[in-house]
Amino acid sequence: MSIRMPLMAGNWKMHYTAAEAVALVEELKQGITRFHDREVVVAPTFTALPAVANALSGSPIRLAAQNCHWEKQGAYTGEISPPMLKDVGCHYVIIGHSERRQYFRETDQEVNLKAAALLAQGGKTLDVLAEQLGGGLSGLEAPPADRIVIAYEPIWAIGTGLTATTEQAQEAHAFIRERLVKWCNKTVANQIRILYGGSVKPDNVDALMAMPDIDGVLVGGASLKGPSFIRIVEFQE
Ligand code: PGA
């Protein structure tokens, strides 16, 4: 077994009220049995976080937010800060998702500020990279390996039903890991998990997870239904 614990994350994007999100979490709690050798994360909308955190109490499923601001507080209408997310029980925050870059004009510089703020307050980041390790992490001191997770998502594969071949994905992941060696060092780079994202489904997860540098998946559409996300989490080795 790899030194990197597989991480299976569901990004619910802008779906579900608090009650709907709790119903899905209850299904996942019932259906997922293999927690001992994998980490499971769900990322509901901000408004569902407190209810989902409550529903998850006592469960190993971890909570993530889908975005944050880089300041702790201040006059930033509509924004939510890392300490506020920690306060409602978030373990991870997804930053740098391509949908935020595309629709909300988020830049590498902003992603960089968010990563720095999260790491400074002791939070964990789940950084989503469009192509390769770019400006989002530049200039940051490399954190301990368990504080950062990288997700590689080819933009053309997100929500389209098209996935990279397992070989293409493996090649990209190996390339990212080489870049990580330059950013931190080989030992840490070998411990950092690199997730694949983009139309991951029950029928392609096993092949993806068999690749040596694919350490988990970030799942959008297929994480919205209990049975499909449960099957993804319980990928077959
Ligand atoms: P998808 O989304 O699984 O629906 O392609 C993945 C993501 O954007 O995180």
For tokens 């490399």, the residue is 142
Q: How far is the CA of 103 from the centre of ligand 1 (A)?
A: 15
Give the count of alpha carbons within 13 A of 157, CB side only.
21
Q: Evaluate: CB of 156 within 6 angstroms of ligand 1.
A: no
Residue 218 · residue 195 · CB < 8 Å: yes
**Domain boundaries 7-233, corresponding CATH code:** 3.20.20.70
Q: Please give the number of the atom of ligand 1 that sits closest to the Cα of 219.
A: 3
pLDDT of residue 131: 52
Q: Evaluate: CB of 199 within 6 angstroms of ligand 1.
A: yes
Mutation to probe ligand 1, out of 14, 41, 199 (largest number of atoms < 8 A from CB): 199
> Nearest residue CA, atom 1 of ligand 1?
220
Q: Evaluate: CB of 226 within 6 angstroms of ligand 1.
A: no
Measured distance CA(177)–CA(190) in Å, rounded: 7
Q: Evaluate: CB of 9 within 6 angstroms of ligand 1.
A: no
Mutation to probe ligand 1, out of 100, 219, 224, 231 (largest number of atoms < 8 A from CB): 219
Give residue limits of the domains in the chain.
7-233
Q: How far is the CA of 172 from the centre of ligand 1 (A)?
A: 17
Q: How far is the CA of 13 from the centre of ligand 1 (A)?
A: 9
> Nearest residue CA, atom 6 of ligand 1?
220
CA distances from 86 to 22, 50, 72, 96 (A): 19, 11, 11, 19
pLDDT of residue 1: 43
pLDDT of residue 66: 96
Mutation to probe ligand 1, out of 94, 102, 156, 158 (largest number of atoms < 8 A from CB): 158
Torsion of CA 50, 54, 60, 66, to 10 degrees: -10
Active site members: 97, 153
Give me the residues of the chain with pLDDT under 50, please.
Answer: 1
Dump pLDDT digits (tens) for 173-182.
999 999 888 8
Q: Evaluate: CB of 159 within 6 angstroms of ligand 1.
A: yes
Burial zone of 152 (CB within 10 Å; 0-12 exposed, 13-18 middle, 19+ buried):
buried
pLDDT of residue 190: 95
Torsion of CA 106, 108, 111, 115, to 10 degrees: 180
Q: Which two tokens stand for residue 58?
A: 């006592």
**DSSP letters spanning the chain:** --SSPPEEEEE--S---HHHHHHHHHHHHHH----TT-EEEEE--GGGHHHHHHHTTTSSPEEEES---SSSSSS-TT---HHHHHHTT-SEEEE--HHHHHHH---HHHHHHHHHHHHHTT-EEEEEESSSS-GGGTTPPPPPGGGEEEEE--GGGTTTS----HHHHHHHHHHHHHHHHHHS-HHHHHHSEEEEESS--TTTHHHHHTSTT--EEEESGGGSSHHHHHHHHT---
pTM (predicted TM-score): 0.94
Q: Evaluate: CB of 98 within 6 angstroms of ligand 1.
A: no
Measured distance CA(227)–CA(66) in Å, rounded: 22
